[in-house]
Structure 1
Amino acid sequence: MTEPAYLTSTRTAYDTVADAYAEEARDALATSPWDRAMLNTFAELVGATGPVGDLGCGPGRLTGHLASLGLDVFGVDLSPGMVAVARRAHPELRFEVGSLTALALEDGSLTGALAWYSLIHTPPEQLPVVVAELARVLAPGGRLLTAFQVGDERLHIPRGYGHEVSFDAYRLQPDFVAGLFEAAGLAMEARLVRAPREREKTQQAYLLARKPA
């Protein structure tokens, strides 16, 4: 089966920028109180009840943070370059290459799933497939937390982190994403939309959903 072009372009872009991205994002959580608040709430709700997937983990910075909060967490990312960086940074944790469109995980195998800015490179019309996959791997009672930029635009990215790249990102509306979650059988628990900070150009959204027991 031919891979969708957006997956190929996204993988290539993140392979290209993996080291530079990891360096720039390394300390971002320390200056992001809203991010820490949502991640800490997610960790408290999920607890040490079973495996948690950081799905679209990039260089593993949030995988490491969730592990420090006591979660049994592992990372999955589309980019082998990002996975290599994550393994070097966190050799004590497990990281695998994989796609959110077809996760190599059993049905109901996760008590928590984090999709932190990892839905933004999927064309909106393809997102139902990804959200259904996230719902599939959650156990009853399991929680999904996602974050994304708010808007309706498709942005083409020709350069990032000092490198020439070519891939797209999509800003999304919280109601649209919440509707996808509900259509996949998840129940919305919380949503937060905050004002942009520092270099951000748009509002940022956090959505937390639960798979009914």
Structure 2
Amino acid sequence: MPAELPSDWSRWRGKVDLDSYDERWRRMAESGEDPHGEVALVMTYGPSSVLDGGCGTGRVGIELARRGVHVVGVDPDPDMIAAARAKAPDLRWEQTGLESLALDERFDVVVLAGNVVPYAAPSVRAELVAACARHLTPGGRLVAGFQLQDGWPTLDEYDAWCAAAGLAPEDRWSTWSREPYAGGPYAVSVASVKPV
């Protein structure tokens, strides 16, 4: 794994076998659970295009594409991108950090499922949010879910990065299934491009 990947990510990734990781979602579906809560939430905004930031092995992006959405997946981890490409070679997968993202497309939604923001190096988190904001269409939304724990971004920090990037808070939940947020260890935040 490249040395430039952040230490929190590298520690997590060092413990994870990609086949077992993907198997988790298959088992959820077989047991009747919906492994696509992130997709269901994103689809409520009626997007025609989504940037799947920190796309991992492609679970969210592939399901969005299956539902008719134009998707581009981005992840800095070469093994994750290779796994996504192997599963869906017809989709566009880019190996790059979100903080240096410079695509020629704009998206209705940028989704950061999982712990994309806290897994980024602390020095680039604000720029990661700004780069995501630059890739939104007018009225577009940044949807990010991540754990709240010591050493990781607080919601106040995240909200400040969004505001600096021209995004206004729209919604916040404690789960991807839209359970109200009243504190707790996980938050899903929606911020939208401010009108000019």
The alignment status of 1:174 with 2:155, answered yes or no, reads yes
- The TM-score normalised by the length of structure 1 is 0.72
Which residue number in structure 2 is paired with residue 31 of structure 1? 33
Q: Percent identity?
A: 30
The verdict on how the C-alpha distance between 1:9 and 1:174 changes in structure 2, with shifts beyond 3 A counting, is closer
Q: What is the CA–CA distance in structure 2 between the aligned matches of 1:119 and 1:25, rounded to whole Å?
A: 22
Root mean square deviation of aligned Cα: 2.9
Which residue number in structure 2 is paired with residue 209 of structure 1? 191
Task: Please report how far the alpha carbon of residue 138 of structure 1 lies from its aligned counterpart in structure 2 after TM superposition.
Answer: 1.3
The verdict on how the C-alpha distance between 1:11 and 1:188 changes in structure 2, with shifts beyond 3 A counting, is same
* 2:112 maps to amino acid: A
Q: What is the CA–CA distance in structure 2 between the aligned matches of 1:76 and 1:27, rounded to whole Å?
A: 25
Structure 2: 5+ residue stretches without partners: 176-183
Higher strand share: 1
The verdict on how the C-alpha distance between 1:145 and 1:137 changes in structure 2, with shifts beyond 3 A counting, is same
Which residue number in structure 2 is paired with residue 115 of structure 1? 112
Which residue number in structure 2 is paired with residue 198 of structure 1? none
8 Å CA contact 2:174–2:188 kept in 1: the answer is yes
* 1:149 maps to amino acid: Q
Q: What is the CA–CA distance in structure 2 between the aligned matches of 1:77 and 1:138, rounded to whole Å?
A: 18
* 1:40 maps to amino acid: A
Which residue number in structure 2 is paired with residue 150 of structure 1? 148
Q: What is the CA–CA distance in structure 1 between the aligned matches of 2:147 and 2:11, rounded to whole Å?
A: 22
Q: What is the CA–CA distance in structure 1 between the aligned matches of 2:28 and 2:63, rounded to whole Å?
A: 12
Within 5 A, what are the aligned runs for 1:53-64? 53-64=51-62
Cα deviations across residues 81-123 of structure 1 (Å, max 9, x unaligned)?
11111112223322121111101313x7222111112112124
Within 5 A, what are the aligned runs for 1:3-18? 5-7=4-6, 10=9, 14=13, 17-18=17-18
Which residue number in structure 2 is paired with residue 43 of structure 1? 43
Deviates more, 1:79-88 or 1:90-99: 90-99
Deviates more, 1:15-24 or 1:39-48: 15-24
Total equivalences in the alignment: 182
Deviates more, 1:52-61 or 1:79-88: 79-88
Task: Please report how far the alpha carbon of residue 144 of structure 1 lies from its aligned counterpart in structure 2 after TM superposition.
Answer: 0.8
8 Å CA contact 1:135–1:211 kept in 2: the answer is yes
Which residue number in structure 2 is paired with residue 165 of structure 1? none
SS in 2 for 1:129: helix
* 1:147 maps to amino acid: G
